[in-house]
């Protein structure tokens, strides 16, 4: 399945711009950036071990909330992103078996350029420069 990891450079540039716009909407609707910032309530006196445990527990809770937001509360928006990463128009996402998307996803997360692109999108989201 064609995806960002195996497309031509000219296709990559055009498609990543479409994805950038979809990611902006997705991040707003899922509120993932706010979920990532959730911190545990720390006691006044806490040992480094206790702090580490509380932070680890919060990270698990945050991941669960992110997955709920992406997969349960906003599945259509999440599927739109996955489709765009695979050069599939969002309205045609159901035309392909899930195995195709899972294989493409594995290829995408194994590609340094693709990971760098999504890392830069997250940095843009943190600095609120999507609309700049």
Residues 91-102 pLDDT 10s = 999 999 999 999
Rounded to whole angstroms, the Cα distance separating 9 from 82 reads 19
> Which of the 8 DSSP states describes residue 27?
H
Residue 128 pLDDT exceeds 60: no
The DSSP secondary structure of 79-122, one letter per residue, reads HHHHHHHTT--GGGGGGS-HHHHHHHHHHHHT-HHHHHHHHHHH
Residue 129 pLDDT exceeds 80: no
Rounded to whole angstroms, the Cα distance separating 122 from 24 reads 10
Q: Which residues contact 119 (CB under 8 A, 6 or more apart)?
A: none
How far does Cα 17 stand from its chain's mean position?
15
Q: How many helices (H) and strands (E) does the chain have?
A: 6, 0
pLDDT (0 to 100) of residue 81: 93
Top-confidence residue, 69 or 119: 69
Q: Which residues contact 120 (CB under 8 A, 6 or more apart)?
A: none
Q: How many residues are recorded in the chain?
A: 132
39-81: pLDDT as tens digits = 999 999 999 999 999 999 999 999 999 999 999 999 999 999 9
102-114: pLDDT as tens digits = 999 899 999 998 8
pTM: 0.78
């Amino acid at each position: 399945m064609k995806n960002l990891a195996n497309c031509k450079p000219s296709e990559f540039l055009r498609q990543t711009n479409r994805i950038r716009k979809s990611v902006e909407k997705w991040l707003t609707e899922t509120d993932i950036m706010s979920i990532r910032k959730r911190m545990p309530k720390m006691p006044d006196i806490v040992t480094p071990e206790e702090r580490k445990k509380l932070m680890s527990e919060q990270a698990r809770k945050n991941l669960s909330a992110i997955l709920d937001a992406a997969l349960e509360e906003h599945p259509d928006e999440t599927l739109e992103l996955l489709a765009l990463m695979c050069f599939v128009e969002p309205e045609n996402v159901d035309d392909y078996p899930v195995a195709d998307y899972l294989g493409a996803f594995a290829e995408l997360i194994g590609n340094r350029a693709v990971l760098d692109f999504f890392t830069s999108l997250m940095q843009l989201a943190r600095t609120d420069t999507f609309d700049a």
